[in-house]
Structure 1
Amino acid sequence: MEQIRMPRKVLEGLVVSDKTDKTISVLVEKTYRHPLYHKIFKKSKKYAVHDPENSCAVGDRVEIVESKPISKTKRWHLVKKIDAR
């Protein structure tokens, strides 16, 4: 029996920290509409992302993808830099 693989989540965000080795912190902002009042809200969340070449700097816009756990908090990989600061 062949297993069907679920597509991985892909997010876009802004690098807010690059102080740790091979790890960056990426802030991802999402917008959503309140179901009753229809006001638009922003939610933000920070992700620890694996950056093996230490290629990103603070202020870069990046694309990240979900992966298997790398450490206690890292579950995301860097795909590409979209925009440099």
Structure 2
Amino acid sequence: MNKTNPKKAVKELTMMLMYLTRFNESDRFGTNPDITWKGYDFNVINELDEEDYIRQGSHRSKSVAITEEGIKLSQSLLNKYNISDWE
């Protein structure tokens, strides 16, 4: 099995943690998305935002919205790392 480099691993693991700790607040971002706290490395958060896996809205906000693409990525990463999703 090929090893993942540390930078990529941090990004993937951050996305998975954001996905696994998500919650939903109706209409906060206008489309009723799943959101999560952004207490992670800001450089990683900015990269995930630029790649449209999450949306920060305001950089001052303490939470981010996970996009549909972010959900798909997270689910594939859970499969890659052999982690179960919530039932």
| Structure (1/2) with the larger strand percentage | 1
Q: Which has the larger radius of gyration?
A: 1
The TM-score normalised by the length of structure 1 is 0.31
| Structure (1/2) with the larger helix percentage | 2
The TM-score normalised by the length of structure 2 is 0.31
